[in-house]
Amino acid sequence: MDIIIRDHYEAMSDYATEVIAGYVKSKPDCVLGLATGGTPIGVYQRLIQMHQQGLDFSQVKTFNLDEYYGIGMDLEKPYNLDQSYARFMHEELFKHINIKKENIHIPNGLTKEPESYCQWYEKQIEKVGGIDLQLLGLGRDGHWGFNEPGSSLGSRTRLQALTEQTLDDNYEAFYKKSNIPKDQMPYFAITMGIGTILEARNILMIVNGAKKAEMVAKCLEGPITSQITASAIQLHSGRITVVLDKAAASQLQHSNHYVHVEKLKRDYGL
């Protein structure tokens, strides 16, 4: 696991963007797993800038981690788009780059048959040969995607009930400013499972801010547990890059070691 610590959000975003751009350059038809939330916005802004300077997304395929259940990309009903993750991705990234519409995959929160739909979503990932690089944030309750505490570490794409903490955090971040009453937020979401995420060949997790410091330490240095689903990162067999700002890294026991390893690898060109 490469744990990279940077002074602030901007430097964290710079590093993570370089990792993603590196994949796109070395494998122009790569499959990216993407995440929503406040954390990746800086990365998406930088990818847009890189696209303006020539980074080509025309062959890239993407799969998003999750979507609220009950809302989504229904162009017949534009009001449904407001808080959907489909809208978020469109506004924050897709409409600014040359990705093909048919290469974008976001769980459809409007499906009437979530169970068979989720199986279909998994099949689509399989059909393209799996995800090369999965971008992830970290929830304050330790979730990846919407895999709330208690989700099995082998879980697959499915419908999942959201915790009070996730509802509170997402209400503050995304719903409040649109004056949407909290009781109108979706209480369920479709999310890739932890088992699905672990099959991605490479993982890139980004976390910033002191509010997440305790969870970062538990996730990376604590026991693996379904109560902190992102602790499954410790089971991943591919390349793992975790990029933190100093505040998010502040409760790690072994941060000096991580800084030392990063320097060693740089010095030896690894």
Which residues are part of the catalytic machinery?
66, 141, 143, 148
Q: Is 37 in the site for ligand PGA (CB under 6 A)?
A: yes
C-beta of 139: minimal distance to ligand PGA in Å?
A: 4
What's the maximum distance between 2 C-alpha atoms anywhere in the chain?
Answer: 56
C-beta of 157: minimal distance to ligand PGA in Å?
A: 16
- Strand 188-191 and strand 104-105: pairing? unpaired
C-beta of 241: minimal distance to ligand PGA in Å?
A: 16
The three state secondary structure string of 137-179 is: CCCCCCCCCCCCCCCCCCCCCEEEECCHHHHHHHHHHHHHHHC
For ligand PGA, the binding residue among 38, 70, 130, 149 (CB under 6 A) is 38
The binding track of 180-219 with respect to ligand PGA, each residue x by CB under 6 A or -, is ----------------------------------------
Residue 242 DSSP SS3: strand
Q: What residues between 107 and 166 interact with ligand PGA by CB under 6 A?
A: 137-139
**Structure-block tokens of residue 105:** 């995959």
Q: 41: Cβ–Cβ under 8 A, 6 or more apart, which residues? A: 92
CA 161, CA 31: separation in Å to the nearest integer? 28
Q: Which residue is nearest to ligand PGA (CB)?
A: 37
User: What residues line the site for ligand PGA (CB under 6 A)?
Assistant: 37-39, 137-139, 173
